[in-house]
Chains A and B, each alone.
Chain A
Amino acid sequence: MTTITISKENKVTKMISSEVFESNTWLQALPNNIRHLMEHNLKFYLQNIEEIRMRIQRPLLIRMGLKEVTVDPDRKLTNDYGRGYLVRREDIEQGMEILSQSSLYAWEDELKNGYLTIPGGHRVGIVGKGVLDKGRIKTLKEISGLNYRIGREVPGCADKLLPSLINEGHIYNTLIISPPQCGKTTLLRDVVRQLSDGIPRLHFSGVNVGLVDERSEIAGMYQGQPQFFIGLRTDVLDACPKAQGMMMLIRSMSPRVVATDEIGREEDIEALYQALQAGVNVITTVHGHSLKELQERPVLKELLRWGYFERLVFLSRRRGVGTIEAVWDGKTLERMSS
């Protein structure tokens, strides 16, 4: 057995307990037993937790950065998963009760998609048995696993990138590219916030931004209120399909920039061209490891060949989440900076 030691020396973890709990509203959405563990035994690690996974009769798994740990009977973090806290059916049921505010009927669309958004803008992935209606998933029952994904807001994480995305008031069509969990959404959120609020140091006054948040991850909308700072000139179309949402926003809210997450479907391309015709700039993200990989994808290769995106931003976790590896000029396909 190895007991994991994670540095407690950073500034954030020295916050006094009440502040820690106040800034971690997601704790309220956990099943009682697990919340108790977090509040009493893991309170120094709360700021580092990125994911909490619960699967019935399997150990509770907590991911912090690249480490995945569990909690042993002595309530210490360990990577000896055999000794980990076994998640009970009651934990999952209670979790669902809390997440749905005892109102499963109110979240049928969300269950159909497999996730719920909770106060604070965090997302909880849900798996169980599908209930089908004419061959399509109608809802989920017999819930067997929950995945709490803690969204982090890093104001200023786009500071270094923004000079490459703006030129004398012109905003470049930008594609942010990275493997999963490298901070694409966090970076996009900060780009949106700064474009919306304005960036005095770049002499850029704020512009209207339309945000199509199909998976409720960027703004983290909860009952009509964004849970993250997304800027004072940002209009959000929450839980709307990207292509449809982009066209709606262009017609209805006349944004200067439209931002959305994870493009890649056929219909997205049509929406991107419509944006171009309307003179609206687009900032979006895509899963991917390299330009070569993207150039092989049927939907994206056309866009890249045509030079739709003027800036390509590559992210990694090399020096922590959100490391900007490089910015490329999308027209010449040349690296601009490192």
Chain B
Amino acid sequence: MVKFIGALCIISGCGYLGLNIAQMYKKRVELLRMLQSGLNLLETEINYTSTPLPLALKRVADKLHSESRILFEHAGRLLSNKKGVTAGEAWREGVKVLVKEIPLTNEEINILTLFGYGLGISAKEDQLKNLALVKEQLHMAEMRAVQRMEKHQRMWQYLGFCLGAVVVLILI
């Protein structure tokens, strides 16, 4: 009986782990989509209402849900606190906090980090070009993330349980 319960624990534990990994692929795709939506909102704030970044980032965060809001919320809060933090620094800190929640690939982190370097320091025209570029890059990254998801999601959904079963077999 104890062995049976132990085996069940191992299989369900490994299965859960596998499901989590599979879920992560999906979450990453969703995050990349939401980030693009967030950047679209930011573009509206910059282009049509010329809202300064501390308020613009907060407004974007208020309209987003899920983890994507973390980046905008954290960067906006840092900028509002007025401790001599530049927009670029605030944005990069936001990226760091976001990565803790959802592990992004190095390429995706680079895209977001590089965008921060130009944030707020130039005229509207340049800001819009910078936004268009980062959205394009995120779109490409999303396409790649979708491919990865299609390739690995199903595999991990089963692999966890299979690995659990193998471990149980070895132990028995």
Interface residue ranges, A against B (CB under 8 Å): 28, 32, 94, 97-98, 100-108, 131, 138-139
B50 within 8 A of A: yes
The distance from the CB of B155 to the nearest CB of chain A, in whole angstroms, is 44
Q: How far is the CA of A29 from the CA of B109 in the complex (A)?
A: 33
Q: Which of A100, A131, A138 contacts B120 (CB 8 A)?
A: A100
Q: Check A105–B82 contact: CB distance below 8 A.
A: no
B122: which A residues are within 8 A, CB to CB?
104-105
The distance from the CB of A74 to the nearest CB of chain B, in whole angstroms, is 26
The distance from the CB of A296 to the nearest CB of chain B, in whole angstroms, is 42
The distance from the CB of A319 to the nearest CB of chain B, in whole angstroms, is 40
Q: In the complex where A32-B84, A94-B84, A108-B124 touch, is A101 in contact with B50 (Cβ < 8 A)?
A: no
Q: Check A98–B82 contact: CB distance below 8 A.
A: yes
Q: Check B127–A105 contact: CB distance below 8 A.
A: yes
Chain B positions 52-96 with a Cβ under 8 Å from a chain A Cβ: 52-54, 56, 79, 82, 84, 86-87, 90
Which residue of chain A has its CB nearest to the CB of B80? Answer: A101
Nearest 3 Cβ contacts at the A-B interface: A102-B87, A102-B120, A103-B52
Beyond the given A103-B54, A108-B123, A139-B123, please list 20 additional residue pairs across the A-B interface where CB-CB is below 8 A. A97-B86, A98-B84, A100-B52, A101-B53, A101-B54, A102-B53, A102-B79, A102-B86, A102-B87, A102-B90, A102-B119, A103-B52, A103-B53, A104-B120, A104-B122, A105-B46, A105-B123, A106-B51, A107-B50, A131-B123
B interface, size bucket: 20 to 34
B114 within 8 A of A: no
Q: Check A103–B120 contact: CB distance below 8 A.
A: yes
- 9 contacting pairs across A/B (C-beta < 8 A): A94-B84, A100-B52, A100-B120, A101-B79, A102-B121, A103-B51, A103-B54, A106-B50, A106-B53
A106: which B residues are within 8 A, CB to CB?
46, 50-53
B127: which A residues are within 8 A, CB to CB?
105
B121: which A residues are within 8 A, CB to CB?
102, 104
A103: which B residues are within 8 A, CB to CB?
51-54, 56, 87, 120
Q: How far is the CA of A131 from the CA of B86 in the complex (A)?
A: 24
Which residue of chain A has its CB nearest to the CB of B49? Answer: A106
Chain B positions 113-137 with a Cβ under 8 Å from a chain A Cβ: 119-124, 126-127
Q: How far is the CA of A103 from the CA of B91 in the complex (A)?
A: 13
Q: How far is the CA of A97 from the CA of B123 in the complex (A)?
A: 13
Which residue of chain B has its CB nearest to the CB of A32? Answer: B84
Q: How far is the CA of A138 from the CA of B120 in the complex (A)?
A: 17
Q: How far is the CA of A105 from the CA of B118 in the complex (A)?
A: 12
Q: For A103, A104, A138, A139, which residue has the most chain B Cβ atoms within 10 angstroms?
A: A103
The distance from the CB of B1 to the nearest CB of chain A, in whole angstroms, is 64
The distance from the CB of A99 to the nearest CB of chain B, in whole angstroms, is 10
Q: How far is the CA of A327 from the CA of B15 in the complex (A)?
A: 91
A104: which B residues are within 8 A, CB to CB?
120-123
A28: which B residues are within 8 A, CB to CB?
82
Q: How far is the CA of A108 from the CA of B123 in the complex (A)?
A: 7
The distance from the CB of B47 to the nearest CB of chain A, in whole angstroms, is 9
Q: Check A101–B52 contact: CB distance below 8 A.
A: yes
Q: How far is the CA of A131 from the CA of B84 in the complex (A)?
A: 27
Which residue of chain A has its CB nearest to the CB of B45? Answer: A106
Q: How far is the CA of A98 from the CA of B82 in the complex (A)?
A: 8
A102: which B residues are within 8 A, CB to CB?
52-54, 79, 86-87, 90, 119-121
Q: How far is the CA of A106 from the CA of B87 in the complex (A)?
A: 13
A94: which B residues are within 8 A, CB to CB?
84
Which residue of chain B has its CB nearest to the CB of A35? Answer: B84
Q: Which of A98, A108, A131, A139 contacts B50 (CB 8 A)?
A: A108
Q: How far is the CA of A108 from the CA of B122 in the complex (A)?
A: 10
The distance from the CB of B27 to the nearest CB of chain A, in whole angstroms, is 30
Q: How far is the CA of A94 from the CA of B89 in the complex (A)?
A: 13
The distance from the CB of A129 to the nearest CB of chain B, in whole angstroms, is 13
Q: For A94, A98, A100, A102, which residue has the most chain B Cβ atoms within 10 angstroms?
A: A102
Q: How far is the CA of A100 from the CA of B119 in the complex (A)?
A: 12
Q: Check A105–B84 contact: CB distance below 8 A.
A: no
